[in-house]
Structure 1
Amino acid sequence: MEIDYKKIKVIGFDADDTLWVNETYFRDAEIEFGKLLSSYETINKIDQELFKMEMKNLDLYGYGVKAFILSMIESALEISNHQVSTKTIEAILNIGKNMLNKPVELLDGVEEVLKTLSKKYRIILATKGDLLDQERKLEKSGLTDYFHHIEVLSDKKEANYSKLLNHLDIKPSEFLMIGNSLKSDILPLVNIKAHAIHIPFHTTWAHEQVSEAETNGKAYKTINTLTELLKILN
């Protein structure tokens, strides 16, 4: 089914793994964490227990590196039966600090796409995660001036997007969301009658994965690179 984008006036962009690299750093951190706890459990079991802890804590801590650090510490205590050393706890904290201090690595074509599209459309950033961390990354990215509005959401469900569009007086039919997560950036928008374009990233957090059944019959487009947007929207 061909999708008509002629009515689009506002384009929203996700940030992590859409504009810049993010999930790769979490995967690297999980490997480091597994090595630190390897005397207590197998790497596979450590990965499973950490993910379970993240899901358990999601409503309390939300998303982002700081929430991840707290879940790593709590997992370390649980996996080791509270035998983990203070030195290991310090090493876990350092994993998190290193993540927070990572340079912002823009994905290919990001600035070209934002520069071009901002001449024709209102551009907004709609991301989730820790406010301070996302503000830091945005400042480091050098992309701030391309956005008419920046919103760091506590979550990306239909209600969150509806509230954002109402607040900015944007009709769903005139809004297009761009992102790498089907669960967070695509399906909620399609469900509120807005538009969405999916740009997959090479790695996806398990929590963001969806089944084929959830995407069946949903009207959205998938492209391989950000620069393909220029062919679709110009």
Structure 2
Amino acid sequence: MSIDRKIALVTGAAQGIGRGIALRLAKDGADIALVDLKQDQLDAVAKEITALGRKATTFVADVSERAQVFAAVDHAEKELGGFDIIVNNAGIAQVKPLDDVTADDVERIYRINVNGVLWGIQAAAKKFRARGHKGKIINASSIAGHDGFAMLGVYSSTKFAVRALTQAAAREYASAGITVNAYCPGVVGTDMWVEIDERFAELTGAAKGETYKKFVDGIALGRAETADDVAGFVSYLAGQDSDYMTGQSPLIDGGMVYR
């Protein structure tokens, strides 16, 4: 495997896409540092990883806090004996008409979705350079980072911002052999989409499940995305086959948004 014996850190790893990414990277040979706010769920994912024959360590951190992200990276290096890959996956959704968005709403989602990615980029780049080797930085964007969606306007803006950070970081760190890319999923059947669907139901009067079905019906490949669909692509970004790719934010959405 191209990531065999590599050390990877995944934020938002307690559930959903983050859990799927962590398990796929472990199956492909990496040891994993799991970062999230929920220790009990982190422990459960860690057990799944060790059952695959790989090492796992957990670290509770709020990615919106810079010092906590740097501490998580230090922990990964200390406990697993190295540091090669970071997946800045943690993020939240926000469904609200632009007219109703408050200053608190904007601050909260930007602190997690944008600041959290920036802190992860900084911490990983610093660690890679200190260790004197190349590294992979992989960020979570979205189809909403390519198209702005109604009722998801501020969320969309955070994912556009992740694409900008990805491009800038790719340019800044290329000379150090550090690649920076993002992945842009579509409609993934996780708890986040349950929350999005419920909020659309509250705001528009649609029946529960109707908004989710409407989005899924627009997918060319005819089904909702799974965490495994995303994880397979992230594993490619983490491995040597993507070594000549940097600054990119490809869509992996089953055929919803086309660029």
Relative to the length of structure 1, the TM-score reads: 0.42
Larger radius of gyration: 1
Which structure carries more relative contact order (alpha carbon 8 Å, separation 6+)?
Answer: 1
> Normalising by structure 2, what TM-score?
0.39
